[in-house]
Amino acid sequence: MLREQMKEVDLLVLGAGWTSTFLIPQLEDLKISHAETTTTGRDNTIPFKFDPDSGSPEPYKRLPSAHTVLITFPLTGPSQSKSIIGLYRSVHGAKNNWIQLGSSGIFTQQLANNDDNWITDNSPYDKSDARAIAEDSLISDFGGCVLNLSGLYGGTRVPRTWLPRLAKCKEDVRKRGSVHFIHGEDVARAIIATHRTFTPGKRWVLADLRVYDWYDLILSFSAMAEGAEGVKESQQEEETRLLFAKWVGELMEEEGIRALPREMSKLGRKIDSRGFWAYHGLWPRHSRLA
């Protein structure tokens, strides 16, 4: 049976992208019925594109009814959550739970409510952020649940290849403190846990329970690429890797850093993501960046 012909599913994924490459295999293994959408209907998905300016319920009629609806793409502003949920429910009724994937970037260091810059699920966040506004509407108006994710990696997302986007010069590297990650497989596990034990009106911040130091990672990435079998890199990639490692070494000398990782107090914003994992009684399978 084609997914677009299914009348009812356990989980409907609006926007089958990178996350779905980890989520769908787990749903299949657990025998959780599911359907996915893409804008083009590729790979046996349902063609669907959210138009925030349209009030027509017609596109929602081709979607199945679902116990849980997952939104993987960002919604922005005060009306988009109301629009997509309202139109879906006008066709399929109100007996559905909603999960929105968001970013932990809304939890800024400037808004941390403690002296050591620790961020938890209950920490202040940037309520003026356009995505946060839409997430707040999903939470308060519809009892939805938001999963604010840290740096996503796994599959096609390889952190050691991100160095050129990280900085253009040594001074850019100097500004880098902490960073947080979560593997796609653990994102999928978190989605399934939320589907099974829904937490209405809750915002969770998710990471792999670690705080990483960018200086430390840069040197680690350099060593990994240099010694890893099967790693093919261009001359430019090799030069970039070596240049970043040189910068970190120089910064350690300039800043009097004896060893890496740096002390927690030097890293700025730090995420304490124990809340979600403890509540659901599971822990990240990828508990360290590979």
Q: Name residue 246's amino acid.
A: K
Of 123, 98, 126, the residue nearest 112 (C-alpha): 123
For 182, counting Cβ atoms within 10 Å of its Cβ (0-12 exposed, 13-18 middle, 19+ buried), the class is buried
pLDDT tens-digit series, residues 27-54: 999 999 999 999 999 999 999 999 999 9
Secondary structure (H, E, C), 256-277: CCCCCCCCHHHCCCEECCHHHH
What pLDDT sits at residue 42? 93
Where do the domains of the chain lie, and which CATH numbers do they carry?
A: 3-158+179-211+270-280 (3.40.50.720)
Q: Which pTM value belongs to this model?
A: 0.93
For the record, the structure tokens of 104 come out as 């932990």
Calpha distance 19→100 (Å, rounded): 12
**pLDDT band at residue 6, thresholds of 50, 70 and 90?**
confident
What pLDDT sits at residue 137? 98
pLDDT tens-digit series, residues 139-172: 999 999 999 999 999 999 999 888 888 899 999 9
The mean pLDDT of the chain is 92
Calpha distance 136→27 (Å, rounded): 28
**pLDDT band at residue 1, thresholds of 50, 70 and 90?**
very low
